[in-house]
Amino acid sequence: MTLEKSQIDQLSRELMAAESSLIPIEPITDRFPEITIPEAYTIQLKTIETKVKGGAVIVGKKIGLTSNAMQEMFGVREPDYGHILYDNMIMEGQPIAMSRLIQPRVESEICFLLKKDLKGPGVTTADVLAATAGVIPAFEIIDSRIKDWKIKIQDTIADNASNALVVLGGQLTLISNLDLRLVGLVLERDGDIVATAAGAAVWGNPVQAVAWLANTLGQYSISLRSGEFIMSGSLTAAIPAQSGSSFRATFDHLGSVTTRFVSKRE
């Protein structure tokens, strides 16, 4: 490892302080150019461990950077993952206050609710389908605690894969006889269509993304747990949000999810 434990602990504290103060930090990769991906995950896990010890509850996990659009946006060529905490869940219809975010962007995703544990290695798409209770239309609000989104993959991994908030839609759909590769998406901002896509934009198949996550975490003896939900990755490039904006993502067969942004908490 190129980083000492004290440096990992310090970077974790810096990221948590940036989240609290809304003052982003300079890119980690500028200060530590040799930081490895495993070290970045160690920083992320240190932050999550600290939050859980403080009472936070892990309710799901997220996969990021699965679509070509997102990989091109951030100049990476592989997915990443992060943890979703209960405190970061937003009810559909509840406005999102810009005052709690730094530089938010909106992603439209297909969310998997698990009814069985999944643990790699060797998890296939068939295993994911058998372990899925259903899927839900969802938004992930990503935000970077790194200044000006000047991130490399190590920066976003350390920053919990840039997760900020999650909004789940109100419809759970069984996926038997449903090919998620062909599920279409129309994303609207303030009533105007800003993007369209299909499920295949997520690594060829959102199911494959969940299998990748189970197998990746299996290397560290971590399971995807029954009852957890898994955000499978954005179908389109992330769309910047601003106060007063409203978003609707409508998925063929799956229903829709909406959210809106306001300047302060209402």
Read off the pLDDT of residues 63-79 as tens digits, 9 standing for 90 and up.
988 777 767 766 777 78
Phi-psi region of 175 (alpha: psi -120 to 50; beta: other; left: phi over 0): alpha
Do the Cβ atoms of 205 and 175 come closer than 8 Å?
A: no
What are the structural domains of the chain? Answer: 5-91+109-180+203-235 (3.90.850.10)
Is the confidence at residue 228, as pLDDT, over 80? Answer: yes
Do the Cβ atoms of 128 and 112 come closer than 8 Å?
A: yes
Is the confidence at residue 10, as pLDDT, over 80? Answer: yes
User: CA 37 from chain center: how many Å?
Assistant: 17
Read off the pLDDT of residues 27-50 as tens digits, 9 standing for 90 and up.
999 999 999 999 999 999 999 999
Q: In which element (H, E) is residue 126 found?
A: helix 125-131
Helix/strand number for the chain, H first, E second: 7, 13
Is the confidence at residue 265, as pLDDT, over 80? Answer: no
Is the confidence at residue 153, as pLDDT, over 80? Answer: yes
